[in-house]
Structure 1
Amino acid sequence: MPNLDQAPDGASLAAMAQPAPVEIDPIYYTWSSTFSILLGRMTGSRDVELEKGYFSEMDTLKADSICKRCETNKEYLLQYSPIVRFLKDEVGKLGGDLTKDNIFCRMCTNEQSGGFSLDHGILLCANKFRNRGHQEDTMAHEMVHAWDHLKWKVEADNMRHQACLEIRASTLSGECRFSREFFTRNQWRITEQLQNCVRRRATLSMLARPGIKNEEHAGKVVNEVWESCFRDTRPFDEIYR
């Protein structure tokens, strides 16, 4: 039975629904608070409430900065990234509308860098991105998911459908291009580098599905649909990069 708290790809719907970080009242973010905390710990007269408030506000401050960077990059990519603009237009041709208002930058606790829900939009995990290029790959990955969901009837509990989604998204988004693998993931094999990367990433993504038992099961499902899904480059004429 589908998990109602998750999108089909394992993304947290609660993370999408939560409000973005807001400006904070820096009542605890002062040198005097820092000094009071240190002094209290040294003398044994700790103010627990002060400490809780201080560190909570520091976490909020960090989240606000990280999400703002994600928002800035998101708007830049929607305007200037060739692959993001192309996929946005292709999604639009199918009746979908991806904008800055349904692409959400949030702090995430899982290991994914993003997620997609047909009802909610795209989740970008702001605290998982190394740089703008990484965020661009993630946006493209989730936009391929959006296109697939609008183009075909995708069944959430059909693992072959889900495996095909992940194969296509990893193939077409650019996240498996040679330079990304070579410089950021220490994958040195040149022969069939793209295929190996797509298989690996699709298998790892399938592990987030509740219907998958283990890595061996995930790999088996990916192999079952590999030939047809890897060769299908729509909406591109060929693999983009």
Structure 2
Amino acid sequence: MSTPEQAPDGASIEAIHQPPPEKIDPIYYNWSSTFSILLGRMTGNRDVPLERSYFTEMDALKSDSICKKCETNKEYLLQYSPIVRFLNDEVSKLGGDLNKDNILCRMCTNEQSGGFSLNHGILLCANKFRNRGHQEDTMAHEMVHAWDHLKWKVEDDNLRHQACLEIRASTLSGECRFSREFFTRNQWTITEQLQACVRRRATLSMLARPGIKDQEHAGKVVNEVWDSCFKDTRPFDEIYR
């Protein structure tokens, strides 16, 4: 294909097949690079490419330990997380099989924390997780995608279908619950906080989809399917958390 296969949230599935990054000499990380970054931030003259390169290569140095932590958390969540276990059971009822062999921890260069492909499974971006709770939300999000793909015929080029996937996944995974928004994203709105979070995250996810022109277009597609998709809590009886 001319373009890499993408998950419903826009994350490239190519990352699943990428080998660990090459090791980098730790001497590269010297005080001059660190000082340049800190000084740029203090003066307002940030060297964004330098920062991006520095932290990307720092991830490469720590890739083994980062992926090992992701794998340890993955196995724990598959065994003990109520929402992950419930969704895994529901996927199984539809003929799907999500397990430690097709839920894969990888180092990612994009800003998504995960992705899903019906052919490959779930991608977990090990270097994007703040903690195990963040990884739990991401696994739940991608498992909702898996359930939706098994339950219905989802068209990859149908923007309304993709918007519905994102609305449901953000609503049901727990990533938009009040405590997560308040403590990690500085979103302090209380009135209709859940709806605002889901709209925001679904719109941002749609920006990664081919065929979306801009944020206004993404928001328009989300609004077109909002009422039916936000109210649909299957396979839960109600919004879990």
TM over 0.5: yes
| Cα distance, 1:21–1:68 mapped onto 2, change above 3 Å | farther
- After TM superposition, the structure 1 = structure 2 runs for residues 1-241 of structure 1, keeping only pairs within 5 Å, are 3-19=3-19, 60-241=60-241
Once residues 5 and 168 of structure 1 are traced to their aligned partners in structure 2, the CA distance between those partners, rounded to angstroms, is 22
Task: Assess, with a 3 A threshold, how the Cα gap between structure 1 residues 228 and 75 changes in structure 2: closer, same or farther.
Answer: same
Distance 1:231 1:65, change over 3 A: same
Give the C-alpha shift of residue 21 in structure 1.
7.2
- SS of residue paired to 1:76: helix
Alpha carbons 1:202, 1:222 under 8 Å: kept: yes
Report the alpha carbon displacement of residue 15 of structure 1 after superposing the two structures with TM.
0.6
Counterpart-to-counterpart distance in 2, 1:103 and 1:209 = 23
Question: Alpha-carbon deviation of 1:17?
Answer: 1.6
Post-superposition CA distance 1:140-169 (Å, at most 9, x none)? 000000000000000000000000000000
How far does the alpha carbon of each residue in 1:42-85 deviate from its partner, in whole angstroms, 9 at most, with x for none? xxxxxxxxxxxxxx997644111101100000000000000000
CA pair 182-2 structure 1, distance change in 2 beyond 3 A: farther
| TM-score using structure 2 length | 0.83
CA change 1:146–1:194 in 2 (3 A) is same
Give the TM-score taking structure 1 as reference length: 0.83
Distance 1:58 1:108 in 2: 13
CA displacement at 1:18 relative to structure 2: 2.3
CA distance in 2, matches of 1:142, 1:103: 10
Give the secondary structure class of the aligned counterpart of 2:62.
helix
| Percent of paired sites with the same residue | 84
Amino acid at match of 2:114: G
Pick closer, same or farther for the CA change 1:59–1:83 going to 2, 3 Å. closer
Maintained 8 Å contact 1:141/1:169: yes
Runs of at least 5 residues in structure 2 that lack an aligned partner in the other structure? 32-55
**Which residues of structure 1 form unaligned runs of 5+?**
39-55
Question: 1:63 corresponds to which letter in structure 2?
Answer: S
Q: Distance in 1 between matches of 2:86 and 2:177?
A: 18
Larger CA deviation: 5-14 vs 70-79 = 5-14
Residues 159 and 69 (structure 1), Cα distance of their counterparts in 2 relative to 1, 3 Å cut: same
d(CA) in 2 for partners of 1:59 and 1:174? 27
Deviations 1:110-156 (A, max 9, x none): 11000000000000000100000000000000000000000000000
Q: How many residues align?
A: 216
| Amino acid in the other structure paired with 2:216 | E
Deviations 1:13-32 (A, max 9, x none): 2111224579x8x9x67xxx
